[in-house]
Amino acid sequence: MADAVSDILVILLHGVGSNGESLASLGKRLATALPSAFFAAPDGPEPSATGQGRQWFSVVGVTAENRPARIAAARPGFDATVSAIIEENGFVGRLDRVAFVGFSQGTIMSLDAIASGRWPVGAVVGFSGRLSAPEPHAPKGSTPLLLVHGTDDRVISAEETENAAGKLAALGLPVEMRIEPGLGHTISGSGAAYAGEFLAKVFGAVTTA
């Protein structure tokens, strides 16, 4: 649980077949830039259909056509997970001090949360993801976003981040994008550093680096 000095809540959202613990090292990197933040890294609500780890929605048989419906079906589980963390840590009514930081499927769910208008949080960082939220897109507020992707990602093409950045910017959201040459489907040290700098800027944090 966040302590009395925590004025930022960062929720780390993992990819399919993984778990919250997999993002522990990212949380440690971000904590350097956000010394007053509390970090939560929940497990996805379902066992992974691939037989390992957890998931937000199944990717077995997923296509571009059926993915939006799967995301919509995953919203109750995502919302319940996020709501519980926000309530437990005293950030109800303080969404402007909450950040979502997602990887892969965690990014997909984070961008859906913003595009749908359900979670107008203070900031979103998305690594190696895509925007597949069901339309219509109706974000609330002006949540700043940072999207990071590697050019050598063979799981989700970097073009997906480029497309997402364009669509989200067209919706009036401030979007920064970093495309990292030669990087695969992972989070690099430089990507984590970008994320820390971005979040510190958004939340006006004083870094200890």
Q: Is 153 a catalytic residue?
A: yes
Work out the average pLDDT over 5-28.
Answer: 94
- Residues 144-177: pLDDT tens digits? 999 999 999 999 999 999 999 999 999 999 999 9
Q: Is 104 a catalytic residue?
A: yes
Active-site hit among 48, 116, 149, 153: 153
Alpha-helical runs (H) found in the chain:
24-33, 67-88, 105-115, 158-170, 189-203
- Residues 113-153: pLDDT tens digits? 999 999 999 999 999 999 999 999 999 999 999 999 999 99
Banded pLDDT at 208 (limits 50, 70, 90): very low
Reduced to 3 states, what is the DSSP secondary structure of residue 208? coil
The whole-number pLDDT of residue 37 equals: 96
- Residues 19-51: pLDDT tens digits? 999 999 999 999 999 999 999 999 999 999 988
The whole-number pLDDT of residue 50 equals: 83
> Is residue 3's pLDDT more than 90?
no
The whole-number pLDDT of residue 205 equals: 66
Integer angstrom CA distances of residue 24 from 18, 21, 117: 12, 5, 28
Active-site hit among 18, 104, 110, 128: 104
Q: Taking the domains of the chain in order of start, what are their residue ranges?
A: 8-203
The whole-number pLDDT of residue 51 equals: 81
Integer angstrom CA distances of residue 97 from 9, 46, 80, 107, 144: 6, 27, 19, 19, 12
Q: What is the DSSP string of 72-112?
A: HHHHHHHHHHHHHHHHHTT-TT-GGGEEEEEETHHHHHHHH
- 1 vs 5, higher pLDDT: 1
Cα–Cα distance for residue pair 31/35, rounded to 1 Å: 5
Cα–Cα distance for residue pair 104/107, rounded to 1 Å: 5
Closest C-alpha to 195, from 13, 6, 2: 13
- Residues 88-109: pLDDT tens digits? 999 999 999 999 999 999 999 9
Neighbours of 194 (CB within 10 A): 18
> Is residue 207's pLDDT more than 50?
no
Residue 162's Cβ-side half-sphere holds a number of Cα atoms within 13 Å equal to 7
Active-site hit among 22, 36, 185, 188: 185
CATH topology of domain 8-203: Rossmann fold (3.40.50)
Q: Is 14 a catalytic residue?
A: no
Banded pLDDT at 15 (limits 50, 70, 90): very high
> Is residue 56's pLDDT more than 70?
yes
The whole-number pLDDT of residue 206 equals: 52
Q: Please report where in the chains the tokens 């981040």 appear, as a residue.
A: 161
